[in-house]
Amino acid sequence: MAIFIENEVDAKFDFDYKDVIERVINESANYVGCPFEINVELTIVDNETIRQINKEQRDIDNPTDVLSFPMVEYKEAGNFDFLEEDEPYVYEYFEPDTGELILGDIVISSEKVYSQAEEYGHSIKRELGFLVAHSMLHLFGYDHMEDDERVVMENKQKEILERLGITRE
């Protein structure tokens, strides 16, 4: 498993943020039953940087808390069967040297982690874990555009964090 974490703004946390990120990524993969070793890149930035990325990629000129850039196009969220078929196109999803499934990239605003933790009344650790779990579900093909999808994602995020003991308390 390859997890690459880049803290571009040297954001300070009073806990081992890399450990939290790695644990949430691993638990998310276990939770959805991913049968492959995975490759994920996560970058921590400031509001201005995430605003620029959001504008370039989504044409939304505002900072956001997290952006997900999935590399895999799932036929069904969390279903990996099509990747086990012997079709030539699936090989584009795997790192040739390691055989890891390249899930995609995550970009998180450290400023939003802090402000949303305060706004929602929970710890910074919980907010960071939540944003990583949320983004990982996007990398596994889940979305929240419709109400039923939103409920599914919310429940999965909560269960992933509960398994790790990262709660709102």
Per-residue model confidence as pLDDT tens digits over 140-160:
999 987 778 889 899 999 999
pLDDT, average across residues 44-53: 97
Q: What is the pLDDT of residue 86?
A: 65
Place of tokens 């055989």: 99
Whole-angstrom Cα Rg for the chain: 16
Buried b (16+ CB within 10 A) or exposed e, 10-47: ebebeeebeebbbbbbbbbbebbebebebbbbbbbbeb
Structure tokens belonging to residue 34:
């991913």
The predicted-structure confidence for 82-138, as pLDDT tens digits, reads as follows 887 766 667 789 998 999 999 999 999 999 999 999 999 999 999 999 999 999 999
Angle, alpha carbons 160-166-169 (nearest 5°): 130
pLDDT exceeds 90 at position 168 = no
pTM: 0.94
Domains of the chain: 2-163 (3.40.390.30)
Query: What's CA 60's distance to the chain center, in Å?
Result: 20
- The mean of the pLDDT values for the chain is 93
pLDDT exceeds 90 at position 51 = yes
- Lowest mean pLDDT of 56-60, 151-155, 165-169, name the range: 165-169
Element (H, E) at 42: strand 38-45
37 versus 169: which is more confidently predicted?
A: 37
